[in-house]
Amino acid sequence: MGFSGDIRKLRPSLGDSQLVEYASVEPPAEIRPCLNALGDANYVIDLGNLFTWGPFDCLYDPQYSASLNNGAGLNGLDTLCQQSPLPFEPPPALQTSRPDTPIEPATLQSLSTPAEEAHQSSESVSHIVNDLTASSCASPQGDPDSHSDDDILIAENFFHVKAVRNEMYEKIQSFYLAQTDMCFKKVAFPDINRLNCLVQLYFEYFHSQMPFIHSVMFESDSSWILVLAVAVIGSQYTKMAKGKQYIIVLSELLRRAIPLDAVKALQYDAMTLAQSTLLLNVNLVFNGFRDDIINLQFLRTWLATLIRPFLNPNSKRDSVLLHVSRTVNIYDRWHAWLQVEARTRLVYAFFLLDSFCVVFLDMQPSYSMDDFENRLPSSDQLWSSQDAHSWQSHLQSSRETPIITLRQFLSSSCSRNFSLGQLSRFNRLTLLLGLFVGEKQAANISRFTTRFLVPSGNPCALRHSLETPNSYPSLNSRYQLLEPNFTPTTSASTFPDCFTICYHLTSIFRYTSLRDILAYTGWLVTTVESIAAGKRIAQIMEKDTEGARKCVIHAGAVIREIRGVLAPACYHGFSLLFAFLYLWVYERFYTSTTTKRPCPDQSSPYKLLRIDRDPKSTLEKQWIAGDPDCRPYLTGVGLLLEPGASTRLLKECQRILKSFDAWPHLRAGFIFSLNELVDEVNPLTDVPYSWAS
């Protein structure tokens, strides 16, 4: 969000010289030598620098500061994956279930690994890896403790699935040993016991967020690539001393293991490859490194290609499988049902991740909503059955749930009285995100039509262009169908919080765009663009003050759901950040437009609207209506719309992020970016780093 470096002598584009100002902040001494290359007249901006300054660069984690200043040698490690690795012959242990499956050659290793410093410096990376190694060998008190992981290994082995088999681990280890990059020799690799714990952590913390891998199928049919993919996500939740090293090495190993050649991909099981690639993309979105976002640009497209064969609706096949002759073994019926259900859940897990890219990263969706004709997944009770008899019992006792597809729900013919109470939280979340993403697509098309297809110079067209909404009021009734004010069916514990968070967050983004909020903070924009974004937000808030006040309540609801969570879901960091940033933007808008705040007498204090608690409906209505005696209050911040509240908001967001025990790199990046926002560091102003360019 802010700019902490000194990028000089970059020649601005013609006509843009008045927009480009040198950064006013001198870089820290430890990274200043890395910037000398920018003074070279022949310096060419590389793709990685486009994401150098933003919340995805977590390399300024305060815990790294000691090693950055300890004067350690800088030449012990080449930039991670900067070297061109030599081709190698895959050892036999790397073969998948199909004996002719090759290992992807070095041509797939074209982009840098996530663990790079902000300036693509091998020296900076050496610092980070050395620090990771040093800090991981110390106990929380700073004393070496060789047995510090023993208790953690016991605590993190949840026995959700069978332990990782020796032959499976040997295949992963062989692929690791086959890597020729120096970085793989400097970063710790987990042994079989630790890798098994990472797999168990996946099913303990992440499985309920995207339930598309069944534990029984994983135990019987999983390949080493899928085991590696599961371990990568599980590593985000470990408390092991070298947990951050495991995240780095396993993430890069998985990226290299996924084949990106269509012919070679045919040699893998389609389901396994799609599942593994989906988990790789999850890691890229939420890991917290800018290089992951770059890799995401094409790996997300590759994932969409792998998912395409699964988009064909198969409801007829489901019916045949569920009503097969009773002479067939119940075990076979259950496994046939699992195969079909796994296909459906894979499609909607992909849709969920793709929607997260739209909501959190402001990307374009991979597919139109019309492409999702698959029925929504079956109930969680059926899917979580661990044997054929429990599955049959749930199948016979469960109520008949409505069969609906995402496309049907979004169609104009869908009845507004349609009952959604019997749908699981995952299905409700799917419908909510489908509605939001479809609406966003329509709004983008509307802007394009207005901007390019209307006659130029038409005053009416210009006025319509300025009034193009972020949402369509005609869809409000659809959102009301999904409003989280009911008692849901029994489901995984993570989804009530996920659905509620996404409902309130999308309500904010229906009012004002994510890109304008981030641009106003100064992230990856020029000063001119940041000011323009602020003006757009101010115009919206002046035109619809009630909507702005409603979004304050929505932001408080997001904070209420996330506050106090120790092992956050992958989307918690983004959701918390954007909720606080909206309150920060609203605070600044209110401060700039209010000349004198009303001050009630001592006998009549403000009526506090506790937005992060369960606010009373009467107070909500008074606040939305603009009652000056009703004021929002946030725990840890105090009264909003008061002097200093904007800074206290950012610091409270940092405090909550610091309490998280998962997704450490993303968390650290957000904390550092908020530090810059608190310190009012000037945003990056060089045009090549701007979104608009």
User: pLDDT digits over 97-134, tens only?
Assistant: 333 333 333 322 333 333 333 333 333 333 433 444 33
Question: Two tokens at 532?
Answer: 């323009």
Is the overall model pTM greater than 0.85, yes or no?
no
Residue 453 has pLDDT above 90, yes or no: no
Q: Which of 451, 407, 445, 402 is nearest to 422 (CA)?
A: 402
Section 548-572 average pLDDT: 93
Give the pLDDT band of residue 417 (cuts 50, 70, 90). low
Residue 27 DSSP class: P
- Residue 626: per-residue pLDDT: 92
Local confidence band at 446 (pLDDT 50, 70, 90 cut-offs): confident
Beta-sheet pairing, 630-634 with 638-639 = antiparallel
Strands 607-610 and 638-639: unpaired
pLDDT the model gives residue 458: 56
Predicted local distance difference test score (pLDDT) of residue 242: 94
Confidence of residue 327 (pLDDT cuts 50, 70, 90): low
Mean pLDDT of 665-677: 91
**Is the per-residue pLDDT at 609 higher than 50?**
yes
Rounded CA-CA distance 577/670 in Å is: 8
Q: What is the pLDDT of residues 37-74, one digit of tens each?
A: 223 333 232 333 333 333 333 333 444 333 323 333 22
**DSSP notation for 463-507:** HHHHT--SS-GGGHHHHHHT-S-S-PPS--THHHHHHHHHHHHHH
Judging by beta carbons within 10 Å of its beta carbon (0-12, 13-18, 19+), is residue 529 exposed, middle or buried?
buried
Count CA atoms closer than 13 A to 345's CA, side-chain side.
Answer: 24
d(CA 333, CA 345): 18
* Average pLDDT value for the chain: 74
Q: How far is CA 580 from the centre of its chain?
A: 17
Token pair belonging to 12: 């601005």
Q: What are residue 226's phi and psi, to 5 degrees? A: -70, -40
pLDDT tier, 222 (very low <50, low <70, confident <90, very high otherwise): confident
- CA 257 to CA 636: how far, in whole Å? 45
Percentage of the chain exceeding pLDDT 90? 44
Q: What percent of the chain has pLDDT over 70?
A: 67
